[in-house]
């Protein structure tokens, strides 16, 4: 009887699909996992070290206190501009891609556009050009022509020296006689004899011929008519006596000490405006963002006042600038 029951059970087991049989076998063979013991909590992080006392900082090597500096290197392609800067400016970084960079590249004798003039410094002289513009659909090109060149025979044959610069101006010295304040947007190019100098000789020349040179009664204003059709005005803080030497050069008869300003007169109707602002000149200028959406130009200025006896220095007066349309 028992054998018959066993045979029936075996027959039933044989009929179960293999996949189900595998599940049954796995269920039978699967062992119960023991419950894992709870892990112990990780230890708390160590507190930060106490700050170093000032006395120990002072004893540290100086290399730890120095700021990070890029390694010094020199370029075999770019020229060395430091010879064009005054020694007092070399302790700070020099500007790159500045509006006066042509005064520091190669020999420093390439024209630079300082609105509204092209300015060139070469051979111990400074030339200004009111440029003509040639326009094409691709670009606008300005041609440099030395309309006026100012120099002093007393100057040494050395190159110019940049003694100061800021956002809106650069100051060029032609040692040991003349200093030029080149200011962006000024209708005047201003020169002054260096402080402490005795009166110096002044030379004014042009690539054009001087058709006429007309001084006023006090010899503090001269009108130059050139054969190019241009008219330039020359203002001075003290009498400047000029005589013509050939057709393209004017020389001072007496030594001069003071301020000289040159400007192009595009139309006779502007002369009264230039006369009014001729005795006040900027020597430095900064662009300052005083509040959101507002840009302010701040100028440092000098000037002179004409009295019945002699001119006196003054910081009063108003400035005028040339703006782009």
Half-sphere exposure at residue 261, Cβ-oriented, CA atoms within 13 angstroms: 24
User: Which of the given ranges, 72-86, 143-157, 174-188, has the highest pLDDT on average?
Assistant: 174-188
How much is the pLDDT for 8?
Answer: 60
Q: What 8-state DSSP symbol labels residue 188?
A: E
Please name each of the domains of the chain with its CATH number. Answer: 81-272 (2.70.98.30)
How much is the pLDDT for 318?
Answer: 87
Residue 32: pLDDT band with limits 50, 70, 90: low
Give residue-wise pLDDT tens across range 238-282. Answer: 999 999 999 999 999 999 999 999 999 999 999 999 999 999 999
Q: Which two tokens stand for residue 143?
A: 């041609």
Determine what percent of the chain is predicted with pLDDT higher than 70: 74
Compute the average pLDDT of residues 284-302.
93
Mean residue pLDDT of the chain comes to 83
Half-sphere exposure at residue 228, Cβ-oriented, CA atoms within 13 angstroms: 20
For residue 242, how many other CB atoms are within 10 A of its CB? 23
Give residue-wise pLDDT tens across range 111-127. Answer: 999 999 999 999 899 99
Helix (H) or strand (E) holding 27: helix 18-29
pLDDT above 70 (res 64): no
Give residue-wise pLDDT tens across range 17-30. Answer: 554 544 445 544 54
Q: Which two tokens stand for residue 254?
A: 């007496």
pLDDT above 70 (res 195): yes
How much is the pLDDT for 28?
Answer: 46
Cα 174 to chain centroid, rounded: 21
How much is the pLDDT for 24?
Answer: 47
How much is the pLDDT for 317?
Answer: 75
pLDDT above 60 (res 72): yes
Q: Are 145 and 244 in contact (CB under 8 A)?
A: no
CA-nearest of 147, 311, 178 to 252 is 178
**Which of residues 71 and 148 earns the better pLDDT score?**
148
């Amino acid at each position: 009887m028992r054998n018959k029951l066993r045979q029936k059970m075996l027959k039933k087991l044989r009929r179960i699909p293999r996949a189900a049989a595998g599940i049954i076998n796995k269920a039978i063979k699967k062992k119960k996992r023991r419950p894992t013991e709870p892990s112990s909590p990780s230890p708390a992080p160590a507190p930060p070290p106490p700050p170093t006392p000032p006395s120990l900082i002072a004893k540290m090597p100086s290399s730890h206190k120095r700021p990070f500096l890029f390694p010094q290197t020199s370029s075999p392609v770019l020229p060395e501009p430091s010879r064009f800067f005054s020694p007092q400016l070399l302790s700070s970084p020099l500007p790159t891609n500045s509006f006066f960079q042509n005064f520091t590249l190669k020999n420093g004798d390439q024209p630079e556009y300082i609105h509204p003039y092209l300015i060139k410094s070469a051979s111990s002289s400074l030339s200004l050009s009111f440029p003509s513009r040639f326009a094409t659909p691709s670009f606008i090109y300005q041609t440099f022509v030395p309309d006026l060149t100012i120099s002093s025979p007393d100057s040494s044959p050395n190159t110019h020296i940049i003694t100061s610069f800021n956002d809106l101006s650069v100051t060029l010295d032609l040692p040991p006689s003349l200093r030029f304040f080149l200011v962006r947007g000024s209708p005047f190019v201003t020169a002054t004899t260096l402080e402490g100098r005795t009166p110096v000789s002044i030379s004014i020349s042009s690539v054009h011929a001087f058709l006429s040179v007309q001084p006023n009664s006090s010899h503090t204003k001269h009108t130059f008519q050139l054969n190019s059709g241009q008219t330039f005005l020359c203002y001075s803080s003290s009498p400047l006596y000029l005589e013509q030497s050939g057709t393209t050069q004017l020389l001072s008869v007496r030594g001069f000490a003071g301020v000289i300003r040159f400007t192009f007169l595009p139309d006779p109707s502007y002369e009264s405006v230039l006369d009014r602002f001729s005795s006040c000149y900027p020597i430095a200028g900064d662009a300052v963002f005083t509040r959101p959406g507002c840009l302010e130009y701040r100028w440092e200025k000098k000037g002179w006042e004409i009295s019945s006896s002699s001119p006196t220095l003054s910081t009063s007066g108003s400035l005028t600038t040339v703006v782009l349309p």
